[in-house]
Amino acid sequence: MANTSRINGLRPVKHLNGSPFNGQSNLYYIASAADEILVGDALKLSGSSDAYGNPGADLATTEVPIGVVIGIMQSKFDPGGKLTTGAVSLDLPAAAQIAASGSGYVLVADSPDVVMEVETSNGTPAVTDVGLNATVANGARTSSTVTSPLTLDVATLAVTATLNLRVLGFSQKVGNEVGASAKVLVMFNRHQFGAVGTTGV
């Protein structure tokens, strides 16, 4: 039976030692998003911060990632302790994304040992791909996108050390099989907090 495609980006499921992911995250500031940013997207450091010193981030592709978005803060959130003025939108899609070129705050699971589930695209994965590295395909997104279109790009699977994801295995659950649109377990192969001597941003 073929897999059903349900793309929703990277989803943290546990830590590398097998302990469950408990939702721990840190606050990051998006100053001017390169594209729409949603829950499930991989982020990189932007090399700046907000006025309070919270680290800045932006959408990652091939850059060294900092983590995965697990929450979008309400648009008027201010880390100084109060909401900013103006109208608040609680409706989709505005409540589910940081708009392209927009700003705001996101919660990021930035521990380098987080194991995530992601759907594969652009090819058919095989059992021999376990242990290989790959990069993300961020997918097409617009102002109406409410779920992350990020997938693991099967066409990039290789032993190359600079690729961002490491394939740990296939998700062992009902409805998932080795084949097109399979869900695989991955962790960041490169990470800003995961290695000694990582280049600063």
What distances in angstroms separate CA 117 from CA 102, 134, 158, one per listed residue? 27, 14, 19
Say what the pLDDT of residue 67 is: 97
Any alpha helices (H) in 130-170, and if so which ranges?
none
Using a 10 angstrom Cβ sphere, with 0-12 exposed, 13-18 middle and 19 or more buried, the burial of residue 17 is exposed
Quote the pTM value. 0.92
- How many helices (H) and strands (E) the chain has is answered by 0, 14
Distance CA 117, CA 16 (A): 13
- Residues 97-143 have pLDDT tens digits of 999 999 999 999 999 999 999 999 999 999 999 999 999 999 999 99
Distance CA 88, CA 15 (A): 35
Say what the pLDDT of residue 158 is: 97
Say what the pLDDT of residue 55 is: 97
| 32 against 198, higher pLDDT | 32
Say what the pLDDT of residue 188 is: 96
Which residue's entry shows tokens 């380098």?
Answer: 112
- For the chain, the first-to-last Cα distance in angstroms comes to 45
Handedness of CA 41, 45, 50, 54 (dihedral sign): positive
Say what the pLDDT of residue 76 is: 85
Q: Are 98 and 104 in contact (CB under 8 A)?
A: yes
- Residues 20-50 have pLDDT tens digits of 999 999 999 999 999 999 999 999 999 999 9
| 76 against 84, higher pLDDT | 76
Say what the pLDDT of residue 197 is: 57
Region 150-179 average pLDDT = 96
Region 59-77 average pLDDT = 93
Structure tokens at 138: 């961020």
